[in-house]
Structures are given as C-alpha cells and as structure tokens.
C-alpha cells in the first residue's frame, strides 16, 4: 500500500508544485491520474518511488516512511517509467537495456534473459533485441523504456504517459499486459492525458489541478464532473459529443453515454424504429 499524507513539494522554493496531496493506493488497484500540463502529476508520481522526497508531509510504503528508505529499497517495490524515454535509456542494445534492471534486482542470467524475451514479445518488440535504442522510432523507444520496468514486474507500477506515440495495436497490447499483471496482484498507477485509455482500463481516477487533488473516485463519476473537465483541460470525448448532439433531437438518448458500443446500440435503436 502507498499512502501520501499532506505532501508538499517545490522545485525552486518559489513555485509550489504540490500543495498538500493526500492519497491512498491499495494493493491491486488500477488508478489513473489526470490533470492539465503543470498540475503536478509527474511531481506526485515521482514521490511514489522516492525520486523526490516530500518537503512537508510523508510518503508511506507498506507501512514504512520512505524518509528512512534508500532509493534502491524503494525501487525493489515501485517501478517508475518516465514520460520521456530518452531520460531512461542509455545502453547499446535493447536487450542490455532491459536486462540491466533485471540483473540489478538480482535475477540470474537465464531468468533475466527469459523475462527480457517475454516482455519484448508482449510489447511488440520481438525482433528488436539486438538493435540500439537510438536507431528506434520515438514510439518504439517508449516501449523499450516500458519493457525495462515491466520485465521486473514490481509490486507497484508507476507509468508517466505510457501511451504517447503508440498506435492502436500497441496501446491494446500495453493495456492487456497491465491487466494481466494487475490480475497477478500488481498495483498500476498511470499519469495520462489519454482519456479513452483511462475509460477503457482504469476503474479509479484522481484528478489534479494546481498541485492539489480536486476529485478522486470511480472513473465514470470523476469524468462526469464538469469542474474536472474544465480544470483538467479535458476535451469531451467524441462519443460524448455525439451523444449530446443526438440528445437534442432524440430525447430518449441517455445522459451518460461513454462507450462506443453503447452509442452503437443507441443508434441501432433509433434507426431500427425509423
């Protein structure tokens, strides 16, 4: 379990990036963190694996205050993938990059190799093991950074904008892998602007604005809150816009349509009767 208690943080002592964040993430949860650029999402997620330490307040990991834990100790439990893969990748081949973390965590040579192969295959990087990460495309480098953390399967996964640069197939692959890990008891926290990805994969959503949490609850509840839509700089999904436009003409269309399949059935209903 990760508990943030009234966490404050400022990078330069002038501008306060986090202004009293309190949040509890239970084991086995899937949680999305949304918010406008500059809301403090990345700063918060960096507190979860000890990269940043609170200037006020506490971060408690499995009952232990992280103030008294080393980064190495925390890293065994919490794996973080950065938004920009180039801040993370530094070795000459994809295989070395992924096996580096595994070896550091004490996996044997053959275990490391096996896990590396399995993770690369799951993320659609099967043929890339010997390639230099720097010859890969932006989307591919992002997946290598994800593989280097996902392969170690830490108890807590913290992912900063994991879907950037990913096409529809790759996004599905990633979602499937996260769902499998979650079934095995892993906790998954993502920071993302990708609202469709949130709706389809995360039951709980935390909305942030100006360094504070402004909403925390079920994803459908948080995303139907107008204040959240506005302060998190969210654009309403196309399906919501379609439903709104339909409702003007067909009053029978429900208030809370989010999924594509729901809209499809609604339209079949309308046209079936025509």
Partner 1 sequence: MALIEFADFSFKYLGADSLALKRIKLTIDEGEYVVITGPSGCGKTTFCRAINALVPQFHRGYVAGNVYTDGKNTRENEVATFASVAGLVFQNPENQLVTLDVEKEIAFGPENLGVAPDEIRRRVEELIDLLDLEELREKHPHEMSGGEQQRVAIAATLALRPKVLVADEPTSNLDPTSAEVILEIIAHLNKRGMAVVLVEHRLDLVAKDASRIILMNKGRIVADGNPREILAMDLCEEIGVGVPKATQVYKRLKTRGVELRNVPLTGVELAELVQEATSR
Q: Which residues bind partner 1 (CB under 8 A)?
A: 35-38, 83-84, 124, 131-132, 135-140, 143, 161, 164-170, 193, 195-196, 232-235, 237-246, 249-250, 260, 263-264, 267-268, 270-271, 274
Tokens found for residue 246: 């339909």
> CA-CA distance, 49 to 78, in Å (whole number)?
5
98 vs 246, beta carbon nearer partner 1: 246
> CA-CA distance, 90 to 85, in Å (whole number)?
10
Tokens found for residue 230: 């506005």
Shortest Å, Cβ 228 to partner 1:
12
Residue 52 CB neighbours (<10 A): 19
Shortest Å, Cβ 193 to partner 1:
5
105 vs 267, beta carbon nearer partner 1: 267
112 vs 150, beta carbon nearer partner 1: 150
20 vs 139, beta carbon nearer partner 1: 139
27 vs 252, beta carbon nearer partner 1: 252
Shortest Å, Cβ 207 to partner 1:
12
> CA-CA distance, 222 to 216, in Å (whole number)?
7
Cβ 94 vs Cβ 130: under 8 Å: yes
Instruction: Please name every residue paired with 261 in a beta bridge, in sequence order, or none if there are none.
Output: none
> CA-CA distance, 90 to 82, in Å (whole number)?
14
Shortest Å, Cβ 169 to partner 1:
3
Cβ 128 vs Cβ 94: under 8 Å: yes
Cβ 228 vs Cβ 206: under 8 Å: no
Shortest Å, Cβ 256 to partner 1:
15
């Amino acid at each position: 379990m990760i508990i943030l208690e009234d966490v404050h943080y400022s990078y330069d002592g002038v501008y306060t990036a986090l202004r009293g964040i309190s949040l509890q993430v239970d084991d086995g949860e899937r949680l999305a963190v949304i918010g406008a650029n500059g809301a403090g999402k990345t700063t918060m997620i960096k507190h979860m694996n000890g990269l940043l330490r609170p200037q006020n307040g506490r971060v408690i990991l499995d009952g232990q205050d992280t103030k008294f834990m080393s980064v190495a100790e925390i890293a065994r439990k919490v794996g973080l993938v950065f938004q920009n893969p180039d801040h993370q990748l530094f070795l000459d081949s994809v295989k070395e990059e992924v096996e580096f973390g595994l070896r550091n965590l004490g996996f044997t040579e053959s275990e490391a190799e096996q896990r590396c192969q399995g993770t690369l295959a799951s993320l659609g990087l099967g043929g890339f093991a010997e390639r230099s990460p720097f010859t890969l495309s932006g989307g591919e480098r992002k997946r290598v950074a994800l593989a280097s953390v996902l392969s170690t399967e830490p108890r807590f996964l913290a992912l900063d904008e994991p879907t950037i640069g990913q096409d529809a197939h790759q996004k599905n692959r990633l979602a499937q892998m996260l769902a499998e890990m979650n079934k095995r008891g892993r906790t998954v926290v993502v920071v993302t602007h990708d609202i469709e990805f949130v709706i389809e994969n995360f039951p709980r959503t935390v909305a942030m604005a100006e360094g504070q949490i402004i909403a925390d609850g079920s994803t459908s509840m948080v995303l139907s809150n107008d204040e959240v839509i506005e302060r998190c700089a969210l654009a309403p999904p196309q399906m919501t816009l379609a439903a709104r436009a339909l409702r003007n003409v067909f009053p029978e269309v429900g208030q809370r349509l989010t999924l594509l399949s729901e809209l499809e059935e609604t339209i079949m209903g309308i046209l079936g009767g025509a």
